[in-house]
Each structure stands twice: as structure tokens, then as C-alpha cells.
Structure 1
Amino acid sequence: MLANPLWQMLPAVKSGNVHRISPATWMEFSGLASAHRVLDDIDCFVNGSP
């Protein structure tokens, strides 16, 4: 996927603003606890905390 030309055209990819995440958190979305884990991931990337 990373070598796909369409992926390379995305603005976030071009600006280096792409982050690797745990697929389990995002693919097994199943309720409130999952929603909090997804939001925690987003918060880490937006605010730069590990």
C-alpha cells in the first residue's frame, strides 16, 4: 500500500503527516472503550505525546 501511487498523492503523505497505528484498535471498533482508544491515538498524534 505504501508504494501505491494514489497513497503517495495524499496531502498528508506528501507533508510527512502520516503515523503508524495499531490496526487492532481501529479494525475491532466495538463500543465506547474502542472509541476512547481511537481518540487516544488521535490525541497522541495531534498533541505530539507518546
Structure 2
Amino acid sequence: MSVSAHLEELKRKHEALSEQVEAEQRSPGSSDQDIAEMKKQKLKLKEEITRLSV
């Protein structure tokens, strides 16, 4: 897989996680721990995207 293809995949995963986090935050029965874990995953993806983009 090329670097650009890998970056696109990471960006897709980041966007999907963003949508999941937003949906969970709107849901009354959502777990704060689950949301925090998704946010950590999002941050890791963002860091990887930044690292590969330099």
C-alpha cells in the first residue's frame, strides 16, 4: 500500500470515528468510557496522519 493510499484510509477511519463519537454523545445511554476510548483512537489516527503528511 502506498503512503498516499494509507493516508486516505487513515483519514476515512478518523472521519468515521468522528461520526461515531458525535452519535454516541447525542445518545442518552452512551458510556463516557466508550466515548473517551473512541476519542483516544481518533487522536492516535490524527497523530499518524500528521506524522505521515510531513
- TM-score, scaled relative to structure 1: 0.45
- TM-score, scaled relative to structure 2: 0.43
Give the structure, 1 or 2, with the largest relative contact order (CA under 8 Å, sep 6 or more): 2
